[in-house]
Amino acid sequence: MNDNIPKSDEEWKRLLPPEQYHVTREKGTEKPFTEKLLHNKEKGMYVCADCGSELFGSETKFDSGSGWPSFWAPVSGNNVTTRVDTSHGMTREEVLCKNCGAHLGHVFNDGPKPTNLRYCINSISLKFQKEK
Ligand code: FE
């Protein structure tokens, strides 16, 4: 994990590709079915695209049909955090990287067993590290 993370919005803006900045720092949403990680079935770890913190293991990934990568649980530990998001006239649980505050997506209660959770995550917020 990279602990030397930018402190200001200006730094992030300089550092990140514009689309990634829009999603992770301005809480944007990528178009569904647009990103390469959606159908990735390789074993490995999904890390934060902004800071490299480990967020989701491939063993919890499933096809939700939503068009965004979906997971039924974050990695054990405390790398993923949530908060209530009331934007766009909805009440949702926003999912964030605890280390750097990157917006990842939202979590819903209609996921598969064993958790019944569906972490609906923008793939531009993630980078995949293949298991070695
Ligand atoms: Fe992060």
Distance 58 CA to ligand 1 centre (A): 18
pLDDT single digits (tens) 48-80: 999 999 999 999 999 999 999 999 999 998 999
Say whether 51 is catalytic: no
Provide the residue range defining the domain that includes 87.
9-130
For 5-29, what is the mean pLDDT?
95
In a domain, 2, yes or no: no
Res 3: pLDDT: 65
As a whole number, mean pLDDT of residues 40-55 equals 97
Active-site residue (options: 48, 51, 100, 120): 120
19 belongs to a structural domain: yes
Residue 10's pLDDT band (cuts 50, 70, 90): very high
Domain count, the chain: 1
**Cβ–Cβ under 8 Å, residues 70 and 61:** yes
Interval between CA 116 and ligand 1 midpoint (Å): 25
pLDDT classification of 20: cutoffs 50, 70, 90: very high
4 domain-assigned: no
* 111 within domain boundaries: yes
What is the rounded average pLDDT for all residues in the chain? 95
The CATH number that applies at residue 111 is 2.170.150.20
* Structural domain contains residue 3: no
Distance from the alpha carbon of residue 77 to the mean position of ligand 1, in angstroms: 14
53 within 8 A of 97, measured Cβ to Cβ: yes
User: Exposure string (b/e) for 81-101, b if CB count within 10 Å is 16 or more?
Assistant: ebeebeeeeeebebbbbbbbe
24, part of any domain: yes
| pLDDT of amino acid 36 | 80
Whether the per-residue pLDDT at 1 is higher than 70: the answer is no
